[in-house]
Structure 1
Amino acid sequence: MSFQSYLKNIQAKTGKGPADFRAMAEEKGFTQDGSLKAKAGDIVKWLQTDFDLGHGHAMAIFALLKGVKDENSD
């Protein structure tokens, strides 16, 4: 599955896009000024609990927050 497919599926399930997840991560203290301050496990647990995302989809958001991937990544 492409990264874009992950993002589309996440948005369809949650109604939230990349900018929304960045803002929520900042509010929760997982990021500071766009820089990741939390471990992958903490992000995955949050996304599984609050949004019922599976591990792969949660890791896609983690990659987005870490800056490894962005909205234009394949």
Structure 2
Amino acid sequence: MSFQAYLDTIEKKTGKTPADLRAMGAEKGWTQGGTLAAGIRPMAIVEALKTDLGLGHGHAMAVVALLKGQKKEGDA
């Protein structure tokens, strides 16, 4: 599955676009300067996404990669 396919599935399930997810990350203090903020543990984000958005582990990890700046829209 491509990274874009993960993002498409997340949007279908939650209604949140990648821009929405980045905004959510900034709002919650998870990100700063296009990557994770100092002291933020990726697994804490994963657990919050599972609880708040009902995402599975793989899809939550895709959001973490997006928030870290490791992946972006359109990536394979």
TM bin, normalised by shorter chain, reads over 0.9
CA drift of 1:33 comes to: 3.0
CA drift of 1:8 comes to: 0.5
CA drift of 1:7 comes to: 0.5
CA drift of 1:35 comes to: 2.5
Give the Cα–Cα distance (whole angstroms) in 1 for the partners of residues 73 and 56 of structure 2: 19
Cα RMSD, aligned residues only: 0.9
Gaps of 5+ in 1: none
Judge which range, 6-15 or 25-34, deviates more: 25-34
CA drift of 1:34 comes to: 2.2
One-letter amino acid of the structure 2 residue matched with residue 62 of structure 1 = V
Report the count of equivalent residues.
Answer: 74
Percent identity, aligned pairs only? 59
Give the Cα–Cα distance (whole angstroms) in 1 for the partners of residues 34 and 27 of structure 2: 11
Runs of 4+ in 1 over 3 A off after TM superposition: none
CA drift of 1:5 comes to: 0.8
TM-score by length of 2: 0.91
Q: Could you list the per-position Cα deviations for residues 5-48 of structure 1 after superposition, in whole angstroms to 9, with x for gaps in the alignment? A: 10000000000011000001101000123221222101101100
Gaps of 5+ in 2: none
